[in-house]
Homo-oligomer: A and B are copies of this chain.
Amino acid sequence: MKMQVLTKESDDMDKLHRNERISVLQRILCESPGKVFTLGYFTDMLNCAKSSVSEDIDIIRSSLEKTGAGTIETIPGASGGVRYVPMMSEDAVQQLAGRLSAELSIRERILPGGYLYMLDTIYDPGTVSEVGRVFAGYFRNRTVDYVITVETKGIPLAFMTAVYLNKPLVIARHNIEATDGASVNINYVSGSSDRIQTMVLPMRSLRRGSWLLFIDDFMKGGGTAKGILELAREFGCQVAGAGVLVETAMPDRKLPVDYFSLLTLYGVDEASGVTDIRPSPRLIAGGR
C-alpha cells in the first residue's frame, strides 16, 4: 500500500519541545473525545516526565475553556487519567441554530406535500459534527451507554454524537438481515407517514440494564421515539433522553423522556414558498 512513510510514533519523540508536545497531546485528545488516557501513556509516548505532561494538560485545559470548546476532565484513581469533553458555548449553539434555520428555509427545499429536502444538510460532515457536538454537550451529564437511531437519515448525526460521547452506536433497522443473528422486532406507528412499521434490533447489540440516548434528524408525532422506548423495554434497557435536529411545532407530543431539539418547524407553505423554521424555544429561553 503506497501511503506516505513518515517517522513512527516512537522515534524522534525525545526531541519534542513543549510546543510540539502540546500539539501532539491536543490532537490525540481531540481525535478520541471522551476516551480516558493515563498520564503514563503520554509520558511513555513522549518520553518525558509526568510533571511535564501535567503542565501540558493544564495549558490545553485552559485554552479549551477560554475558547468555550470544552474541557479536560481528570478521572482520579488507579484506572484514572484525563479525557477531552467537547462542548459548545451557548453563543455558538445559537449561531449554529440561526445558520441552519436560514439554510433550511430557502424556497428551493420545498417538496410536493410540504416536505423539506434536508439530505445535503444532514449528511454534511461540518454540520453533522457541530450538531453532534451540541447533542453530546447537552446530554453529557446523563448516564449514556449507547447512542441509538433508526435507519437511515439520522445515522450520521447519531454516529457523530456517539463519537463525541465515546459510546457505541446501535442502529435499529426495518428488515431482518442474515448478519444480525437472533433479533427482536417491534411494530410502531411512524408519525411522519402514519404507517405501521417494523423496528428490528439484533439480540446481541445491547446489554440488559443499559441507558440509551436516541438521536434522529426529525421528530413529528414522536412515533419513532415511542418505538425506541418499547424496544428498550424489550431489552431491559432505559432511554436517557432524545435529541433531534428538527421537531415540528405540532402536534404537541408527550414523551416520557427529556428531549432536546435544535430547530422547530412551524410550517411549510407550498403555495407561497415560505418555510417557517427557527431555533427551538427552549434554546432561546436557556432552560432545560
Q: Please list the residues of chain A having a beta carbon within 8 angstroms of any beta carbon in chain B.
A: 1-9, 11-13, 15-16, 18-24, 26-27, 30-32, 35, 59-60, 62-69, 87-93, 111, 113, 115-120, 123-126, 128-129, 137-138, 151-153, 155-156, 159-160, 162-163, 166-171, 173, 178-181, 192-193, 202, 204-205, 260, 282-283, 285-288
Closest residue of chain B to A164, judged by CB? B125
A2–B288 CB distance below 8 A: yes
B3–A169 CB distance below 8 A: no
Whether A159 contacts B155 in the complex (CB less than 8 A), given A1-B282, A26-B30, A126-B32, comes out as yes
> What's the nearest-Cβ distance from chain B to residue A45, in Å?
9
Q: Which residues of B contact A117 (CB under 8 A)?
A: 179-181, 202, 204
Q: Which residues of B contact A160 (CB under 8 A)?
A: 159
Q: Which residues of B contact A138 (CB under 8 A)?
A: 1, 3
> What's the nearest-Cβ distance from chain B to residue A18, in Å?
6
A129 CA / B159 CA spacing, docked (Å)? 11
Shortest 7 CB-CB contacts between residues of A and residues of B:
A23-B63, A6-B68, A2-B288, A20-B63, A26-B26, A123-B169, A125-B163
